[in-house]
Structure 1
Amino acid sequence: MTTFPAAPGADHPSDDIIALVRELVTRESPTRDAVASRSIADLLTGWFEGVGGEVRQEPTAAGTDLVIDVAGAGDPYLLIGHTDTVWPEGTLDGALPWSQQGDVVRGPGAYDMKAGIVVMLEALRRLQPLPRERRRAVRIVLVADEEVGSPESGPLLAERARGAVAAIGFESPHPDGALKVGRRGSARVRIAVTGRAAHAALDPEHGISAVDELVDQLMRVREIVADPALPGPVLCNVGTISGGARANVIPARAEAEIGLRFTDPVTEERVMRALAALRPVRAGAEIVVETLSARPAWLASAQDAALVAAIERSAAGIGQRIEARPAAGAGDTNLLGALGLPTVDGFGPRGGGAHAEDEHFLRSSLGERIALLRAVLTLPAE
């Protein structure tokens, strides 16, 4: 179990706290690596038990999720994060080694979002000296598959959130540090086509090109997402395409994976329904449309605004100024916000380069976020 240092200044986290981030980052944890996920879950179990947490490890097909309850007064705030990263094992020894240069700290997953986990941990440690009636009860959920859309943990999130009065996500904030309230919905869809192989010159009439069929289906997808009758805009990215083997063989299989973003639930429902209704253009071809992951659009509500106002008051009490506005990216907070639970996201430190070789966070911002979370979770004396 880690021995935690004495609390440093709010804006200047000690080297010991940066060392906690480094220890998380150096335990590389790509999504769907069950061994790596269990390793980082074991480490965090000891850390959160050290700040009064009751920890449950909940294995899923993607890895090991953590559910952590910390006693306090009132119904709990739900703190949301993830332990997986987009980076393959070995990134630390190659494209993105750990480094510190002044205020800038780099490493795979440091910004997205292992520094955010340390914000939760250190804020809870600083709350421990307070009597229980001065500390708000907390539940933390750290999932293992967020970077692929939380297909395993997402359906469990509403159950894990039961009884919470509000949710705070620890993804990155806007570049200027503003929190995120409201997020686009997102979906990952695979279109798989089965045709029939044949020699492209000697027997072409007996073949059914899965690649040609897929191209036509992608043109139809373009029409669906660009329909001017949709209430809101749709971002559509064909992220991967595969199929065929040789130029002289009519391909029997092809598939594409598509990423979609929606500003509102009506547009989302119409587009997803239209994609599910895709039918083959060529006789004999077969199409399977599979939704790999989906997060509903989260439109900011009056309840979200009230939560932001409460956070702004806590921030003012420690000399910080906080703003909040909608974000284009999706995350696990989409589900909670869409369900009507008062929700904000972006409580991680400022930085940049998520999913890129310049991934980094600002050391000073880490201290600011720790201080802010402690203030939010501190209840006034009666």
Structure 2
Amino acid sequence: MRMIDRLREYVEDETPTGAVDALNAFADRLLSRYGELGGTARRVPAPTGDHVVADFPGRGPRAAEAPLLFLAHHDTVWPIGQLQDAMPWREQDGVIHGPGVFDMKGGLVVLETALEQVAGLDHRPVRVVVVADEEVGSPSARELVTAESAGVVAAFGLEPPHPNGDLKTSRRGSSRVRIEVTGREAHAALDPGTGVSAIDELLDQLIAVRALVSEYDDVLCNVGTITGGGRTNVVPGNASADLGFRFVDPETERAVLDAVKGLQPVRRDAVLEVSVMSNRPAWQPSEAADLLLAKVAEAGRSVGHEVGGAAASGAADTNLTGWLGVPTLDGLGPRGKGAHAVHEQVIAASLAERAALVAAIITTL
């Protein structure tokens, strides 16, 4: 099957984060596919959807060497129906459009094709981990990724590359934090003084967070959702916000998160609860990543591709392997643009280019 045809199948099988049945059905598809490719695959149950782990044996004199680890995910940010309503599959002028085509079902197809290409060639073993809740920080997969990275020689992510095709050599740390406020409801006109507005309290807390973040040059903070209240004539008794933080180093990460977790209510009788929903530690630049990039660049030249690398702002499961000290690179998915945007797309020709690069990595590292 052509790479583009398989990619279309995968994109049209919509798998939003949290859609357990859809994700598990896609996991079934991956289990079958990895079996066809000669791997031993298993599912790892999780409440957010099952993860998939597959081991492919090495061949020839390198069969007993430490494996390479490839990290991927099969969830997307798009709800079921996005394909029909707003982002139909479309091929035009060498560009493929569709929900999840870039982030990151294109990467799944790249890896499968590379595994086909190395069949019959000598190479070290390959281990694959495909996560079901990566788009919300992989909260159920952290222990799995940690366990499966033990003993590997290097880890590679199949996330999208930089716009020019460069790989990602480090990533900011990423944490999702929820601030929940409990106030006290009351009639907003007849008895406002007995009420405690959870929304007003939340707003003051968000202002405090902004002031805190402004003390650091390299911290990013995005208030992603706000909920609360119900009627304009009722003092709201509950409110909450989900925030996304990005950090360049673990020291700043600890300082900011400790300060946020230590927030205190401004209003008497307001109750404040701060929880960290997911955390990916900062993966900082390292000599190990530089050395790995040099080897990958050499592999790239063997198939006619120039490979560069640079730091990335976004987070992924490679944050964890890089933080753990495993030599790590990310961005082996196809070139394109529009991750998490309605113009999401990949350059069709880059699918084969990336598959050739991944195959060269498997056979030469």
TM category (shorter chain) comes to over 0.9
What is the CA-CA distance between 1:129 and the residue it aligns to? 2.1
After TM superposition, give the deviation of residue 38 of structure 1 in Å: 1.2
For residues 246 and 47 of structure 1, what CA distance do their matches in structure 2 show? 52
> Which residue number corresponds to residue 11 of structure 1?
none
Q: Check if 1:266 corresponds to 2:257.
A: no
1:191 to 155, 179, 197: 179
Deviations 1:183-231 (CA, angstroms, capped at 9, x unpaired): 011111110000001112211221111111111111110111111xx4x
Aligned AA (1:49): G
Partner of 2:49: 63
Shift of 1:233: 1.4
CA deviation vs aligned residue, 1:88-123 (integer Å, no higher than 9, x gap)? 111111100111113101111111000100111110
Determine the C-alpha separation between the residues in 2 that align with 1:246 and 1:42. Answer: 45
- Residue in 1 aligned with 2:332? 347
Determine the structure 2 residue equivalent to 1:83: 74
Aligned counterpart in structure 1 of residue 192 of structure 2, from 183, 204, 225: 204
User: C-alpha distance in 1, partners of 2:363/2:352?
Assistant: 17
Aligned-partner Cα distance in 2 for 1:111–1:195: 43
For structure 1, the 5+ residue unaligned runs are 6-15
Q: Which residue of 1 aligns with 2:283?
A: 298
Shift of the 62–359 alpha-carbon distance from structure 1 to 2, 3 Å rule, reads: same
Q: Give the CA RMSD over aligned residues.
A: 1.1
What is the distance in 2 between the residues matched to 1:154 and 1:83? 16
Q: Which amino acid aligns with 1:314?
A: A
Deviating 4+ runs (over 4 angstroms): none
Work out the CA distance in 2 between the residues paired with 1:201 and 1:43.
58
Cα pair 2:3 2:351 within 8 Å, conserved: no
- Residue of structure 2 in register with 1:155 after alignment: 143
The corresponding residue for 1:98 is 89
Query: Could you report, residue by residue, the CA deviation over 1:162-194 in whole angstroms, capped at 9, with x for unpaired residues?
Result: 111100001000000000010011111110000
Pair 1:52 & 2:38 matched: yes
Determine if contact 2:299/2:364 at 8 Å carries over to the other structure.
no
Taking the TM superposition and a 5 Å limit, the aligned residue runs for 1:312-323 are 312-323=297-308
TM-superposed CA distance for 1:136, in Å, is: 1.9
Listed as ranges, the matches of 1:67-146 within 5 Å are 67-72=53-58, 73=63, 74-130=65-121, 134-146=122-134
Structure 2 gap ranges (5+): none
How many Å apart are 1:316 and its aligned residue? 1.3
**1:365 corresponds to which letter in structure 2?**
S
Residue of structure 2 equivalent to 1:246 = 231
Per the alignment, residue 9 of structure 1 pairs with: none
> What is the distance in 2 between the residues matched to 1:318 and 1:160?
29
**How many angstroms apart in 2 are the aligned matches of 1:379 and 1:157?**
24
1:236 is matched with 221
CA distance in 1, matches of 2:70, 2:195: 54
Tell me the alpha carbon deviations over residues 288-334 of structure 1, each in whole angstroms, 9 at most, x when there is no partner. Answer: 10111111111011111111010011111222100001001111100
1:167 to 155, 164, 168: 155
SS in 2 for 1:31: coil
The partner residue of 1:276 within 241, 261, 273 is 261
SS of the residue corresponding to residue 304 of structure 1 reads helix
Aligned 1:305-344 pairs, distance under 5 A:
305-344=290-329
Deviation at 1:249, TM superposition (A): 1.2
Which position in structure 2 is the counterpart of 1:38? 24
Matched residue type, 1:335? L
Amino acid at match of 1:66: V
Return the TM-score normalized by structure 1: 0.92
Q: Tell me, what secondary structure is at the counterpart of 1:36? A: helix
Instruction: Provide the C-alpha distance between the structure 2 equivalents of 1:215 and 1:351, rounded to a whole number of angstroms.
Output: 38
Residues in 1 aligned to 2:9 and 2:326: alpha-carbon distance in whole angstroms: 33
Q: 2:5 aligns with which of 11, 19, 40?
A: 19
Give % identity: 49
Aligned residues: 360
Q: Is the 8 A contact 2:171 2:248 kept in 1?
A: yes
Letter in 1 for 2:251: V
Distance 1:342 1:322 in 2: 17
Q: Contact between 2:218 and 2:248, CA under 8 Å: does it hold in 1?
A: yes
C-alpha deviation, 1:379, in angstroms: 3.9
Tell me, in whole angstroms, the C-alpha distance in 2 between the residues paired with 1:36 and 1:241: 27
Residues 299 and 357, structure 2, Cα contact 8 Å, conserved in 1:
yes
Looking at structure 2, the residues matched to 196 and 32 of structure 1 have their Cα atoms a distance apart, in angstroms, of 32
Note the C-alpha offset of 1:156.
2.1
